[in-house]
Structure 1
Amino acid sequence: MLDVRSMSFHDRHALIVPPTSFRIAAGELVFLEIPTPAGRTAASLILSGRMAPEDGELLLDDEPGLRARRRAAAVVDAEGITSPEHFMSVRRVVAESLGLRPLRARLPHRRDRIPSSPRAWMQAHDWSGVAGDHVDALPAPERIELLTLLAFADPQVRLAVLDSPDRHDLTGETLEDTLAALVDEESATSLIAVVDRAPAGTDHRVVSAGEPPVECPQDPEDPDDADADDADDADAPAPENAPTPDSDPGSTTDDTTHDSPAEDR
């Protein structure tokens, strides 16, 4: 789906996104670790196509186009950019998000019918009971779920990039369970969580910015094949004039004598 190759970015003073490479497939959850808030936001904007990297490239379905990635990816809950205002109600957040969806789109990867009205969408996703609540009053898992589902409500969006979801004081297990429930192999929706530190012991892939990607180790040699090779080596005849274990490596089987340099003098 998305192939990230040596993505990096500087701000005015420092390298905030060191060269980072990884791949994410359809229906996969990946944690991307970046230690600074500025680096996490910059990476989220780059991954979602809102900003170009300073160096490196990103390929969506093997295509480098920025516009296609912008349509297929959404940056979710980036503070001060896409995060909802604290005074907004759930109903208003839903209405504004659905209002930004394109009227027409070709959607080979999405077969479901998504309600277009805020009321119908909230009823379909069981959000009607909190429609009048402020979005900031929602528990952190519910806030993340709401905003991510709204991102996927745009039928073109296949990848959601969450900017610092761990800033909401979620424990590692709760964060992982919340995010894992939002990816779907059947509808080919994927998620990148850009975090300070991934949950300990997570079953999902973790990428640390600036570190080389982990390569799958090669299959170890079959012990039976190795034993067979050793047996073949043992049965093979020794080369001609090869020294035996008891012989002096410096000795020779040639009976011809040679005059020493001293005798020549």
Structure 2
Amino acid sequence: MRITLYDVSKGRGGEALPRTSLEFHTGAVRFALAETEQRPTVLGLIASGRMRPDTGRVTLDGAENTKDLRRRVALVDAPSVSDPHADIALAGVVGEELMFAGVGATPIHARRWLAGLGFAELASVPIGSVDPAARVRILCELAVLRDGVEGIVLVAPDRHGGSPDGWWRIAGEFADRGYAMLVVVGGSAAVALERMQEFDAINASGPVEPLVLEEPADATSGADTRTATDTDTENGDAR
């Protein structure tokens, strides 16, 4: 699976997201730089098929298929969209995600699931107080419980503090397990990753293969006029 963003942007003059091109694929982890409060989430929404860009195109294995992209790529921990409230106990977060995955979701199931992952002692801890690396591990493991998920877009793990090496190693482990991994980070984290040569961190923005356009059968068909707020949150699921 290969996801490619070609010259995408959002908002008037790219205010919500300036023109961006990047690519990530199965079995590899890449990072993408997005600064300001809004842009990381907007980039994550577009890269996971949950928001249409105002310019450019997003392809999955060379074709535009938003529905399939949304089904196969999970959006994890995106601020104001898919991040859990900081005050909710971790077991509560786990129970909700187990429910979305269609498996046992009682408090007992949640605690057992956490114990199996090695985090039993964190069950009653508010997720906002969980160590950043543990948070990433737990949320990504929950994301891949859903049927059909083959990739993850992890948004701004650096906002929780700590060193990037913890959550970057975890992202790399998911890539080794065969998932396509994109981590959206801020400038400081990007610089830190590039300096940690042992991680061989690769920026998703380059190089990106040129897009070969086909002549549309009807240039007016498929027009989309939705705004930056038109995401899957409309029907209650932006994960």
TM-score normalised to the size of structure 2? 0.74
Equivalent residue pairs, number: 198
- Where do 5+ consecutive residues of structure 1 fail to align? 104-115, 216-265
Aligned pair 1:203/2:193, yes or no?
no
Q: Provide Cα deviations, 1:97-141, integer angstroms capped at 9, x if missing partner.
A: 0111257xxxxxxxxxxxx94244223212222211111111111
Equivalent positions of 1:51-62 (< 5 A) are: 51-62=51-62
Within 1, Cα distance between the matches of 2:114 and 2:166? Answer: 23
Within 2, Cα distance between the matches of 1:122 and 1:172? Answer: 23
Within 1, Cα distance between the matches of 2:41 and 2:119? Answer: 28
Q: Residues 102, 47 of structure 1: CA spacing in aligned structure 2 closer, same or farther, 3 A cutoff?
A: farther
Match of 1:251 in 2: none
Match of 2:96 in 1: 96
Give the match's secondary structure for 2:50: coil
The one-letter code matched in structure 2 to 1:178 is I
Match of 1:142 in 2: 134
Q: Percent identity?
A: 27
Within 2, Cα distance between the matches of 1:214 and 1:100? Answer: 34
4+ residue runs of structure 1 moved beyond 4 angstroms?
none
> Which of these two proteins has the greater Rg computed from alpha carbons?
1
Match of 2:39 in 1: 39
TM-score normalised to the size of structure 1? 0.67
- How much does 1:68 deviate? 0.7
Q: Which has the higher helix share?
A: 2
Aligned pair 1:159/2:151, yes or no?
yes
- How much does 1:13 deviate? 6.0
Match of 2:183 in 1: 193
Match of 2:214 in 1: none
Within 2, Cα distance between the matches of 1:2 and 1:214? Answer: 11
Match of 2:124 in 1: 132
The one-letter code matched in structure 2 to 1:40 is P
Give the match's secondary structure for 2:176: coil
The one-letter code matched in structure 2 to 1:70 is R
Q: Residues 214, 161 of structure 1: CA spacing in aligned structure 2 closer, same or farther, 3 A cutoff?
A: closer
Within 1, Cα distance between the matches of 2:23 and 2:14? Answer: 25
